[in-house]
Chains A and B, each alone.
Chain A
Amino acid sequence: MAETIVVTSGKGGVGKTTTSASIACGLARHGKRVAVIDFDIGLRNLDLIMGCERRVVYDFVNVIQGDCTLKQALIKDKRIESLYVLAASQTRDKDALTADGVRGVLDGLAADGFEYIICDSPAGIEKGAHLAMYFADRAVVVVNPEVSSVRDSDRILGLLASKTQRAEQGNGGVKEHLLLTRYSPSRVAGGEMLSVNDVKEILGLDVVGVVPESPDVLSASNAGVPVILNDGSNAALAYQDAVSRLLGETVPLRFIEEPKKGFLARMFGL
């Protein structure tokens, strides 16, 4: 039984693709068979973040339109055995993605023994975003601790609660998780940034992860290696914790407090 998880946010640039890539890698490192799909038709980017951009031959729309088989379009990750990527098409045809087509691909992946299907949603609330969430069992809502991101994600929560298959069938709806990115504990301590609890309270969601602001995220995308694989990085550890929580483990939140300064550091303002 495959579980479909949509990574969504409404607002662009908050870290959906970074999160999709890292969650997919993390689940696969737990031995799960995982496919991660880029739903951003026309603006393919997941392949770059995953580092497989030169191996894209067929894409999501090719599969839907029957130009190739699902197997031909799945790109096997070179680092993790059980991880596959399905790239977005670069077509400008907005109608290339259809509900039946997406359903067919998801069913095909489930039949092929995939345990997790991660849907990397495009920004906005248009067709791509709608179809990325429509078949989801769970949703990871990526939010920056910033007013426009929080408001947009609440809009997405409204859509998850009404415009998804689970909502329409009335069987419990989509399970929603909050994942905060670009979190800066020192700015929170200084009263300049919304805290985890503020965002949690405003949106009324369970927190599945808090990823600290980190230069490693940019380095990871430069290199085409999902940041979760950079074991020395706090961002990687935070994503690893988030993956454990998605798998049902109870893991305390890390990196949400400002590191305590020692006596000397305080004395000399270091």
Chain B
Amino acid sequence: MDLLALFRKPPSTASVAKERLRIIVAQERGARGSPDYLPLLRRELLEVIRRYVNVDPSAVQINLGRDDGHEVLELSVALPQGRARR
């Protein structure tokens, strides 16, 4: 048992709020400049992938990056552990 935990104050709710907002605001600002079609593209890709592999919705990540003047569409799919079911 962590005896020190008895004396440690839990973080204040305001600091929890601040941390949560910092993350969500950064994430939403990051998505702001990206084209409108990305969420739809992500959804449709997920549908196609799920016809073959039963992946979790959060397993498909799409990022639009910039590299030396050209844009890179990066797609990453985390496949489930072991053999694909289905």
A residues apposed to B, CB below 8 Å: 146-147, 150-151, 154-155, 158, 162, 188, 190-195, 198, 201-203
Contact A151 B25 (CB under 8 A): yes
| C-alpha spacing A151/B18, complex, angstroms | 11
Known: A154-B29, A155-B28, A203-B25. A192 touches B18 (CB 8 A): no
CB <8 Å contact, A193 and B21: no
**Which of B15, B21, B22, B32 is the one whose CB lies under 8 Å from A191?**
B15
Check B28 against A194 for contact (C-beta < 8 Å).
no
Q: Chain B nearest CB: distance from A13 CB in Å?
A: 18
Q: List, in ascending order, chain A residues with CB within 8 A of B22's CB.
A: 202
16 of the cross-chain contacts (CB-CB < 8 Å) are: A147-B20, A147-B21, A151-B24, A158-B28, A158-B29, A158-B32, A191-B12, A191-B13, A191-B14, A192-B12, A194-B14, A198-B18, A202-B18, A202-B21, A202-B25, A203-B25
The A-contacting residues of B in range 5-53, CB under 8 angstroms, are: 12-15, 17-18, 20-22, 24-25, 28-29, 32
Most-contacted residue by chain A among B14, B20, B28 (CB, 10 A): B14
The closest CB in chain A to the CB of B22 belongs to: A202
The SS class assigned to the B binding surface is helix
> Which B residues lie within 8 Å of A192 (CB)?
12-14
* Total B residues in contact with A, Cβ cutoff 8 Å: 14
Contact between chains at B14 and A151 (CB < 8 Å): no
Tell me if A's interface is mostly helix, strand, loop or mixed: helix
Q: A150 and B21 in contact (CB under 8 A), knowing A155-B28, A158-B29, A158-B32?
A: yes
Q: How far is the CA of A154 from the CA of B32 in the complex (A)?
A: 11
| Shortest Cβ gap from B65 to chain A (Å) | 20
Instruction: Determine the distance from Cα of A201 to Cα of B21 in the docked complex, in whole angstroms.
Output: 11
B: which residues have CB within 8 A of A?
12-15, 17-18, 20-22, 24-25, 28-29, 32
7 A-B pairs besides A154-B28, A191-B13, A191-B14 with CB distance below 8 A are A151-B25, A158-B28, A191-B15, A192-B14, A194-B17, A194-B21, A201-B18
5 tightest Cβ-Cβ pairs between the two chains A and B? A191-B12, A198-B18, A154-B25, A191-B14, A158-B32
Nearest B residue to A188 by beta-carbon distance? Answer: B14
Shortest distance between the CB of A148 and any CB in chain B (Å): 10
Q: Are A151 and B13 in contact (CB under 8 A)?
A: no
Query: Which residues of B have CB within 8 Å of A158?
Result: 28-29, 32
Q: Which of A162, A198, A201 contacts B14 (CB 8 A)?
A: A198
Given contacts A158-B29, A158-B32, contact A151 B12 (CB under 8 A): no
CA gap between A263 and B20 in the complex, in Å: 38
Q: How far is the CB of A153 from chain B (nearest CB, A)?
A: 10
Q: Chain B residues with Cβ under 8 A from A201's Cβ?
A: 18
How far apart are A248's CB and chain B's nearest CB, in angstroms?
A: 29
State A198–B12 Cα separation when bound (angstroms). Answer: 13
CB closest chain-B residue, reference A195: B14
Q: Tell me the smallest distance from the CB of A239 to a CB of chain B, in Å.
A: 25
CB distance from A112 to the nearest CB of B (A): 38
The reply to whether B25 and A194 form a contact with Cβ atoms under 8 Å apart is no
**B13's closest neighbor in chain A, by CB?**
A192
Q: Which A residues are CB-close (under 8 A) to B14?
A: 188, 191-195, 198
How far apart sit A186 and B19, CA to CA, in the bound complex (Å)?
Answer: 21
Give Cα A245 to B17, complex, Å.
Answer: 29
